[in-house]
Amino acid sequence: MAPNNDSPSLEQQVEILKQRLAQAQNLTALGELASTTTHEFNNVLMTIINYAKYGLRHQDRASREKAFEKILAAGNRAAKITNCVLGVARNRSSGQDAVDLAQVVEDTLMLLEREMNKYRIKVEKQYAEVPQVYANGNQIQQILLNLMINARQAMPGGGRLLIKLAYDAENDLVDLVVRDFGCGIPADKLPHIFDPFYSTKSGPDASGKGGSGLGLSMCREIIEAHHGRIRVDSSPGVGTAITLKIPSVTRAAKNRPAPRAAIGPMTLPINTVSAPVS
Ligand SMILES: Nc1ncnc2c1ncn2[C@@H]1O[C@H](COP(=O)(O)OP(=O)(O)O)[C@@H](O)[C@H]1O
Ligand SMILES: [Mg+2]
């Protein structure tokens, strides 16, 4: 019998499924970004409305000045929030450039300010001086959103979230650590957390986040595309630290293949290890 040329080969089917997975990951990430920013925006609007009412009620100069200052600050915050969404919507390319990681972390934390307050998560930062990395800022922001939301969900009763930036001079990589003091990941589950659709959550939480099992699989793919590494240290009952190791601009420039040799992408192994966190 002649082969049926209409039905896709196994390789083609795998390719189609890979594309569908990428679409599902993108849609989930976009959904979580939309939900996060809408809630944060709403919060800013409440501040504006309340201080406008306050300014109308209190006619004295000092109260009015205070009201205008609060409204101005809230308006500026609203502009930053919409800029973040517009940046992602406009630039959906996977192009990479010199990126200041501390700035990306700050922008992401700004998007999660209300959410972290609501769930009583205290954010601590430890930023060392680090070189710029060669990265796609939007994609790194997507990773951070997912890691920080995972961390928040691991601490349902509230807790601490530690964000660390450090320079691994030996390898010319910048380490970005998202550390929570939550439930931790049992050893038997650890090997699966990067699998697409693997989730221990029963579905989206009250804030509409998590449960798809697509977050970490997307993080892993993005880090692979950056020739970086991702490392997980976790202990049940103690917490989880996820370390992203991202090439600095100088390292990326050194490793960039010469145009003639650029046959396939270079990938460093994704290095996932389990170790107790202290
Ligand atoms: N910080 C964390 N603490 C504890 N468990 C985690 C953490 N991050 C990820 N996990 C585990 O890894 C699984 C997969 O995470 P993810 O891919 O983001 O999917 P989702 O958040 O939709 O469940 C989670 O369901 C959870 O079991
Ligand atoms: Mg998640």
Q: State which ligand 1 atom lies nearest to the alpha carbon of 198.
A: 14
Confirm whether 277 is domain-assigned: no
**CA-nearest residue, atom 1 of ligand 1:** 151
Is residue 261's pLDDT more than 70?
no
- Do 125 and 154 share a structural domain? yes
Please tell me the predicted confidence (pLDDT) of residue 2: 52
Q: Does ligand 1 come within 6 angstroms of the Cβ of 145?
A: no
End-of-domain residue from the set 90, 120, 148: 90
Which listed ligand is nearest to 161 at the C-alpha? 1
Residue 273 in any domain: the answer is no
Q: Which atom of ligand 1 is nearest to the CA of 210?
A: 22
**Tens digits of per-residue pLDDT, 17-47?**
999 999 999 899 888 898 899 999 999 999 9
Q: What is the mean pLDDT of residues 242-263?
A: 80
Which residue of 150, 190, 214, 243 sits with most ligand 1 atoms within 8 Å of its CB, as the best mutation to test the pocket? 150
pLDDT (0 to 100) of residue 208: 86
Taking Cα atoms as reference points, which of 216, 217, 223, 219 lies closest to residue 268? 223
Segment 240-245 shows an average pLDDT of: 98
> Is the same domain home to 85 and 153?
no
- Do residues 39 and 136 share a domain? no
In the predicted model, what is the mean pLDDT of residues 183-207? 94
| Mean pLDDT score, 110-128 | 96
Residues 101 and 76 in one domain: no
Residue 234 located in a structural domain: yes
Number of domains forming the structure of the chain: 2
**pLDDT bucket at 264, cuts 50 / 70 / 90:** very low
Spacing, Cα 260 to ligand 1 middle (Å)? 41
Residue closest by Cα to atom 12 of ligand 1: 193
Does residue 114 belong to any structural domain of this protein?
Answer: yes
Q: CATH number of the domain that 20 lies in?
A: 1.10.287
Is 266 inside a domain boundary?
Answer: no
Same domain for 102 and 75, yes or no, is no
Cα(54) to centroid(ligand 1), Å: 43
Does position 91 have pLDDT exceeding 80, yes or no? no
For the purposes of burial, counting CB atoms within 10 Å of the CB of 167, is it exposed (0-12), middle (13-18) or buried (19 or more)?
A: middle
For 20, the enclosing helix (H) or strand (E) is helix 10-57
Q: What is the pLDDT of residue 267?
A: 40
- Averaged pLDDT score across all residues of the chain: 90
In a domain, residue 161? The reply is yes
CATH of residue 130: 3.30.565.10
In a domain, 226, yes or no: yes
> Ligand 1 atom 7: the closest Cα is on which residue?
150
User: What is the average per-residue pLDDT within 260-272?
Assistant: 46
Residue nearest to atom 27 of ligand 1 (CA): 200
- What is the model's pTM? 0.86
- Confidence grade of residue 220 (pLDDT, cut at 50, 70, 90): very high
What is the arithmetic mean of pLDDT over 49-56?
Answer: 97
**Number of CB atoms found within 10 A of residue 24's CB:** 16
Same structural domain for residues 104 and 146? yes
Give the pair of three-digit tokens for residue 86: 């517009």
| Domain endpoint, select from 56, 90, 124 | 90
248 pocket-lining for ligand 1 (C-beta < 6 Å): no
If pLDDT is split at 50, 70 and 90, which confidence band does 4 have? Answer: low
**Boundaries of domain holding 66:** 10-90
With respect to residue 129, please indicate whether it lies within any of the assigned structural domains. Answer: yes
pLDDT at site 271: 47
Band of residue 198 on the pLDDT scale cut at 50, 70, 90: very high
Ligand 1 atom at shortest distance from the alpha carbon of 218 = 17
Cα of 109 vs its chain's centroid, Å: 10
- Same domain, yes or no, for 113 and 203? yes
